[in-house]
Amino acid sequence: MKFCPTCGHPVGFLIPPGDNRPRAVCGHCGTIHYQNPRVVVGCVPEWEGRILLCRRAIEPRRGYWTTPAGFLENGESLQAGAARESLEEACARVEIGSLLSVVNVLHAHQVHVQFRARMLAPEFDSSEESLEVGLFEERDIPWADIAFRSIHFSLQRYIADRSRGDELLHFHDIQESPER
Amino acid sequence: MKFCPTCGHPVGFLIPPGDNRPRAVCGHCGTIHYQNPRVVVGCVPEWEGRILLCRRAIEPRRGYWTTPAGFLENGESLQAGAARESLEEACARVEIGSLLSVVNVLHAHQVHVQFRARMLAPEFDSSEESLEVGLFEERDIPWADIAFRSIHFSLQRYIADRSRGDELLHFHDIQESPER
């Protein structure tokens, strides 16, 4: 942020009184603009034991596989966001189940949240956001070509839980070092 | 948002190609500025069966009681944020436990996340953010003076779970009608 979204004048970064972190503060109108992590929400849709994955049509990680997931929108619950992303990215209608994972992606200023989900029908399709979409048996999951570490983590926990009949909640922190 | 944070020129609201929602788009540099929900994170600190609450020193809801909670910061995990808020608002050091609640506060564009927590010592104090801080027996919780509906919900679930020896995760949606 270089300019004030409220009045258009330049902002500077300084620690406001009573605060302990540098914030973007407008030199003209004085508004403090806080910047906070965004939530990425998605789900692991399942149909008769197979898992729905999408091959990304857009950067970052175009061509790699992911569960349906994307940024939570204003006015939307986490569950509604997960279901929307499944519909938008995979043309698949799902019923959202239990919370699977919460991954703090620290360097990206994101929190990645994944739910378990049940497909309402074995219907799916590619989309503007997905080059292809498919239902995968566990042995066929393309582990080497998963788009994001948080998705890799979540899928592995999903499979491990399922084999034991569990539905646990898993936390994980990801912090990439600056040189990567 | 009225002006572009990147170049300072006016933004307009329109639906970008491939999108389905109006976004703030700069008429000069073309940058699309997405606006997404913020995460408010906190915890229910407990010491020998009593619960730590803070009476707010700042608006909104100054003078009302809450658990320690505040906006998640960039580069911070949910758990670290909950512990930081406990220290900042109540001068209390805690060990963060299981996830208690996730409340979608739809009209405020916020997700409120609360953890269970154990105080590391029976030490706490008021702060710039809290007029007073106290440990409450269950029967003394000021239910009529709790600052936010999400906190009321979370405290009630905390107490109900504790009485049964459970530590469940509770979801809730709050949507205030526009006229309120």
Per-residue pLDDT tens, chain A, 180 aa: give them.
999 999 999 999 999 998 999 999 999 999 999 999 999 999 999 999 999 999 999 999 999 999 999 999 999 999 999 999 999 999 999 999 999 999 999 999 999 999 999 999 999 999 999 999 999 999 999 999 999 999 999 999 999 999 999 999 999 999 987 644
**Mutation for testing the A interface, residue in B74, B85, B127, B171 having most A CBs under 10 Å:** B74
- Distance of alpha carbon A1 from alpha carbon A11, whole angstroms: 7
| pLDDT given at position A130 | 97
- Distance of alpha carbon B18 from alpha carbon B15, whole angstroms: 8
| pLDDT given at position A18 | 84
Q: Which of A73, A76, A169 sits opposite B169 (nearest CB)?
A: A169
Question: A99-118 burial, b if ≥16 CB within 10 A, otherwise e?
Answer: bbbbbbbbebbbbbbbbbbe
Q: Do B99 and A102 touch (CB under 8 A)?
A: yes
| Single-letter amino acid code for the residue at A66 | T
Q: Do A34 and B71 touch (CB under 8 A)?
A: yes
pLDDT digits (tens, 9 = 90+) for B23-79: 999 999 999 999 999 999 999 999 999 999 999 999 999 999 999 999 999 999 999
CB neighbours (10 Å) of residue A126?
16
SS3 call for A103: strand
Contacts of residue B44, Cβ cutoff 8 Å, sequence gap at least 6? B51, B52, B67, B100, B114, B115, B116, B117, B154, B155, B158
Q: Which of B38, B107, B171 sits opposite A36 (nearest CB)?
A: B38
**Mutation for testing the A interface, residue in B1, B29, B77, B177 having most A CBs under 10 Å:** B77
pTM: 0.96
| Cα within 13 Å of Cα(B52), Cβ side | 32
| pLDDT given at position A178 | 60
Alpha-carbon dihedral B151, B154, B156, B158, rounded to 10 degrees:
-130
